[in-house]
A and B are shown apart, each in its own frame.
Chain A
Amino acid sequence: MTLRVVDLACARGPAQILAGVTFAVAPGEALILRGANGSGKTTLLRTLAGLTPPLAGEIITAPDAIAYAAHADGLKSQLSVGENLAFWAGVFGTKDTSAAIDAFHLGPLLDRRAGEMSAGQKRRLSLARLLVTGRPIWCLDEPTVSLDAENVARFAAAVTAHLGMGGSAIIATHIDLGLPMAQTLDITQFVAKRIRADDPFAEAMG
């Protein structure tokens, strides 16, 4: 399933952030989003995930193809690692959590409550959720935050395996993951010149 984005304009709140975003990601490919802080990587990913409606343009893909992982881990601190994964498996209608547990080496932590884990361990659990969703296109927002080198390698291996199975990934990151089939897209080129159409401040200062 190819994800095709045509002339997309994204907004966050009242402000237009990006305009004219165009790219395509084929199965087996990864797209690395680059751009300075605040350039609109998160806004683009939230738009792709369907959380924010686009101002203009089109996102062409199968329905329910995109799995989104945000800055926030989305874990329940009172539930154990196993219960958190089982919950997401239930929500996405998949059964098997063992692949996700193995990929991020969560076996020893299975009965630990998420609230008692370190930031890096929480991140691993949060990324393991992606495998549980069973969706082909991953949209990841800074997935390697608070991961150590060993687990960054684990994450890269998981993404590579996902690409190998015909999945694809769009990853906003600042580090080099060493993915084989990765294009890089610098989104600074799409940053909208006009911040807000009806911005009285810009009007007065311009």
Chain B
Amino acid sequence: MIALLKRDLMLAIRAGGGFGLSLAFFLIFTTLVPFGVGPQTGVLATIAPGILWLGALLACLLSLDRIFQLDWEDGTLDLIATSPVPLEGLAAIKALAHWLTTGLPLVVAAPALGLLLNLPAAGYLWLIASLLLGTPALSAIGTFGAALTVGIKRGGLLLSLLVLPLYMPTLIFGALCVVRGAAGQEALTPLLLVAGITLGSLAILPFAAAAALRVNLR
């Protein structure tokens, strides 16, 4: 399994691996917002938590269809399925690799973009905390969606339609945590709910993803 993780990280960093694309998307998306809504700092400060969370979520979504599709196309997925690595383990490792190459860079970049959107100072800690605890859920849910749509030509759009509704709870509580934190209110409850969603997704979805893979590999 460690070999799998190492290979996925290596592939992401090599040319054509797509590492950094999600991050670049996140940067551009959040930079475009002030152009769209105008430079009033009050308005920006109000919408900053939602925009940052939405940007992170969409950036995550961008790279989901690569999770299994490339391995499926070149036949690697069939071979891994006949190897000693259980498909549940494969799904968990894929989600972890996706988070390390997509979620983690987003968490690191988010505070800088918060500055750009005039996020109140009290919100930064909650922004980092909620993204750090919430983005693993995005990767886990996305891996499940990718497993469902593997083998479908141009399944990316279908994948988005399947995954976006499942992202809703994470987005609601993640953004709420930052909104309340930025306003100086109690923000621990939504943060704990985000953590709960993440733990639940991590516990259940690798099994669901493995079941979906088994059906799709037939």
A contact residues vs B (CB 8 Å cutoff)? 12-13, 46, 49-53, 64, 66-79, 83, 86-93, 129, 133
B16 at the interface (CB under 8 A from A): yes
Asked if A52 contacts B16 (CB within 8 A), the reply is: no
Known: A49-B78, A78-B14, A79-B7. 8 other contacts (CB 8 A): A50-B81, A52-B217, A69-B79, A70-B78, A74-B78, A78-B15, A90-B4, A133-B83
Residue in B2, B6, B74, B82 whose Cβ sees the most chain A Cβ within 10 Å: B82
Name the distance in Å between A106's Cβ and chain B's nearest Cβ.
18
Which partner residue on chain A sits nearest B3 by CB separation?
A: A90
Per the bound structure, the CA–CA distance linking A78 and B140 in Å amounts to 26
Chain B residues near A64: list those with CB within 8 A. Answer: 84
Chain A residues near B10: list those with CB within 8 A. Answer: 79, 83
Chain B residues near A68: list those with CB within 8 A. Answer: 78-79, 82
Name the distance in Å between B202's Cβ and chain A's nearest Cβ.
22
Per the bound structure, the CA–CA distance linking A130 and B47 in Å amounts to 56
Name the distance in Å between B89's Cβ and chain A's nearest Cβ.
11
Digitize B6-31: 1 where CB-to-A-CB distance is under 8 Å, 0 elsewhere: 11001100111100000000000000
- With A53-B218, A78-B17, A90-B3 as given contacts, are A71 and B75 in contact (CB-CB < 8 Å)? yes
Digitize B145-184: 1 where CB-to-A-CB distance is under 8 Å, 0 elsewhere: 0000000000000000000000000000000000000000
Asked if A90 contacts B80 (CB within 8 A), the reply is: no
Per the bound structure, the CA–CA distance linking A59 and B78 in Å amounts to 19
Asked if B75 contacts A70 (CB within 8 A), the reply is: yes
Per the bound structure, the CA–CA distance linking A93 and B218 in Å amounts to 26
Asked if A75 contacts B74 (CB within 8 A), the reply is: yes
8 closest A-B pairs by CB? A90-B3, A72-B75, A74-B75, A78-B14, A74-B79, A74-B76, A68-B82, A87-B7
Name the distance in Å between A94's Cβ and chain B's nearest Cβ.
10
Can you name 19 A-B residue pairings with CB atoms under 8 Å?
A13-B218, A46-B78, A49-B78, A67-B82, A68-B78, A68-B82, A73-B75, A74-B74, A75-B74, A76-B74, A79-B10, A79-B11, A83-B10, A87-B3, A88-B83, A90-B3, A91-B83, A129-B79, A133-B83
Per the bound structure, the CA–CA distance linking A74 and B6 in Å amounts to 17
Chain B residues near A88: list those with CB within 8 A. Answer: 79, 83
B112 at the interface (CB under 8 A from A): no
Asked if A51 contacts B78 (CB within 8 A), the reply is: yes
Name the distance in Å between A187's Cβ and chain B's nearest Cβ.
19
Per the bound structure, the CA–CA distance linking A187 and B3 in Å amounts to 38
Q: Which residue of the partner chain, among A69, A73, A78, A93, contacts B16 with CB atoms under 8 Å?
A: A78
Chain A residues near B17: list those with CB within 8 A. Answer: 78
B85 at the interface (CB under 8 A from A): yes
Which partner residue on chain A sits nearest B16 by CB separation?
A: A78
Which partner residue on chain A sits nearest B75 by CB separation?
A: A72
Per the bound structure, the CA–CA distance linking A38 and B41 in Å amounts to 67
Chain A residues near B76: list those with CB within 8 A. Answer: 74-76
Which partner residue on chain A sits nearest B7 by CB separation?
A: A87
Q: Which residue of the partner chain, among A75, A76, A91, A133, contacts B3 with CB atoms under 8 Å?
A: A91
Which partner residue on chain A sits nearest B13 by CB separation?
A: A78
Asked if A49 contacts B82 (CB within 8 A), the reply is: yes
